[in-house]
Amino acid sequence: MSSERLPLRSLLFVPGTKTEWLVKAESAGADAAILDLEDAVPPVGKVTARARVADAIAGATGDMALFVRINPLDGWAAAEDLRAITHARLAGVVLPKVADPGDVLLADRLLTWCEREHGLPEGHIALVPLLESAAALRGAYDIGRAAPRVAYLGAVTGKGGDVERAIGYRWSPQGTETLTLRSRVLLDVRAAGVPCPIAGLWTNLADIEGLRAFAEQNRSLGYEGMMAIHPAHIPVINEAFSPTPEELARYARMIAAVEEAQARGAGAITFEGDMVDEAMAARARAVLRKTGMSSI
């Protein structure tokens, strides 16, 4: 199932106590919303928020993918969350405080049981482990391979968050202190075969240009999307992780040129000043497929 997950450019956190904000998330153009039952909900409000989130998922009618960040697996709240929110409309579960592959295996078993209880095919719901400790970041490869349903995995290095505390770096808008970390985790995630690696977060609500630079840096590294905390950030993130019309047109021309050369028995050719071959054409086809375009 994991290889069939839809690519997501933007995943916007929405408090589980504010499910009415889903309308804002969809209006902003978010590819997905993450309804948060963990940090965004005080202990006294957990039960009420869980019910609200379950109702919101069951009543959803739009195209935006819906995820839920459940409570940590070290208590019964996580199991209750999963039972309440499992639904055909649920795209995935965001799993916080992951320590090792064992946490992923436990969540996978619980989700499989919930899917069977609701008549859903096994693996229908994606699992998104959050790498929030040094051990989890170091074990990204094993965590990514722990279950086929793992998707949208990556390094989320927001200012002042769990990762900054765990690693001890000093956050900067340029992201130089986390560049190696994000690159290494991405390599592990790709090697594990996890589709759609995502990064994040950008917490400065007003610094849109800083967000743009950070999103473009993550895209350049190889990430395919980012988590976000405010609707105003969604258009910038979507733009950063989308190919431009000019890029798409060039890919189509490149494919045509390579295929025409192959028909003549040629391999590598010069195309618009660059040396290209079948490997580049294959990459171009993959980009066009993700955008729903044909190479013809």
Q: What does 166-227 look like in DSSP terms, one character per residue? A: HH-----TT-HHHHHHHHHHHHHHHHTT-SS-EEB----SS-HHHHHHHHHHHHHHT--EEE
Q: What's the number of domains the chain is made of?
A: 2
**Residue 98, C-beta contacts closer than 8 angstroms, at least 6 positions apart:** 104, 129, 130, 131, 132, 133, 136, 143
Q: What is the pLDDT of residues 138-174, one digit of tens each?
A: 999 999 999 999 999 999 998 988 999 999 999 999 9
Spatial strand order of the sheet with 198-199 comes to: 126-129, 90-95, 65-69, 32-36, 10-15, 225-228, 198-199
Q: How much is the pLDDT for 264? A: 84
Q: How much is the average pLDDT of 81-106?
A: 96
Asked whether the predicted pLDDT for residue 289 surpasses 80, the reply is: no
In this structure, the answer to whether residues 39 and 74 fall within a common structural domain is yes
Q: How much is the pLDDT for 293? A: 55
| Cα–Cα dist 110/106, whole Å | 6
Domain with 261, as residue range(s), is 245-290
Q: How much is the pLDDT for 80? A: 95
Asked whether the predicted pLDDT for residue 3 surpasses 80, the reply is: no
Instruction: Return the percentage of the chain with pLDDT > 90, whole number.
Output: 74
Q: How much is the average pLDDT of 263-287?
A: 82
Q: How much is the pLDDT for 290? A: 73
| Cα–Cα dist 176/224, whole Å | 19
In this structure, the answer to whether residues 133 and 263 fall within a common structural domain is no
Three-class secondary structure of residue 107 per DSSP: helix
Q: Find, among 164, 171, 236, 243, the residue nearest to 205 by Cα.
A: 236
Q: What is the DSSP letter of 296?
A: -
Q: How much is the pLDDT for 285? A: 84
In this structure, the answer to whether residues 145 and 259 fall within a common structural domain is no
Determine, yes or no, domain membership for 295.
no
Q: Find, among 255, 239, 261, the residue nearest to 289 by Cα.
A: 255
Q: How much is the pLDDT for 296? A: 42
Q: What is the pLDDT of residues 58-70, one digit of tens each?
A: 999 989 999 999 9
Residue 130: both structure tokens together: 């959050």
Q: How many CB atoms lie within 10 A of CB 53?
A: 28
Q: What is the DSSP letter of 41?
A: S
More confident residue, 197 or 280: 197
- Answer whether 229's CB lies under 8 Å from 201's CB: yes
Asked whether the predicted pLDDT for residue 246 surpasses 90, the reply is: no
| Cα–Cα dist 139/101, whole Å | 8
Asked whether the predicted pLDDT for residue 257 surpasses 90, the reply is: no
| Cα–Cα dist 25/14, whole Å | 8
In this structure, the answer to whether residues 32 and 130 fall within a common structural domain is yes
Residue 268: both structure tokens together: 């590598």
In this structure, the answer to whether residues 235 and 250 fall within a common structural domain is no
Q: Write down the pTM of the prediction.
A: 0.87
In this structure, the answer to whether residues 204 and 258 fall within a common structural domain is no
In this structure, the answer to whether residues 252 and 235 fall within a common structural domain is no
In this structure, the answer to whether residues 230 and 256 fall within a common structural domain is no
Determine, yes or no, domain membership for 93.
yes
Q: How much is the average pLDDT of 123-135?
A: 96
In this structure, the answer to whether residues 221 and 208 fall within a common structural domain is yes
In this structure, the answer to whether residues 49 and 67 fall within a common structural domain is yes
In this structure, the answer to whether residues 281 and 232 fall within a common structural domain is no
Angle of helix 76-85 relative to helix 46-58, nearest 10 degrees, comes to 20
Q: How confident is the model at residue 240 (pLDDT cuts 50, 70, 90)?
A: very high
Q: What is the pLDDT of residues 205-232, one digit of tens each?
A: 999 999 999 999 999 999 999 999 999 9
Q: How much is the pLDDT for 146? A: 98
CB hemisphere CA count around 143 (13 angstroms): 32
Asked whether the predicted pLDDT for residue 195 surpasses 80, the reply is: yes
Q: How much is the pLDDT for 85? A: 97
Q: How much is the pLDDT for 125? A: 97
Determine, yes or no, domain membership for 103.
yes
Question: Which of 198, 223, 240 delimits the end of a domain?
Answer: 240
CATH assignment at residue 207: 3.20.20.60
Instruction: Return the percentage of the chain with pLDDT > 70, whole number.
Output: 97
On the question of a cis peptide bond just before residue 201, with omega within 30 degrees of 0, the verdict is yes
Q: How confident is the model at residue 286 (pLDDT cuts 50, 70, 90)?
A: confident
Asked whether the predicted pLDDT for residue 118 surpasses 70, the reply is: yes
- Tell me how far apart the terminal alpha carbons of the chain are, to the nearest angstrom: 28
Between CA 184 and CA 189, with CA 188 as vertex, the angle to 5 degrees is 115
More confident residue, 86 or 158: 86
**Residue 91, C-beta contacts closer than 8 angstroms, at least 6 positions apart:** 6, 32, 65, 66, 67, 125, 126
Determine, yes or no, domain membership for 273.
yes
Asked whether the predicted pLDDT for residue 17 surpasses 60, the reply is: yes
Q: How much is the pLDDT for 2? A: 44
- Answer whether 114's CB lies under 8 Å from 82's CB: yes
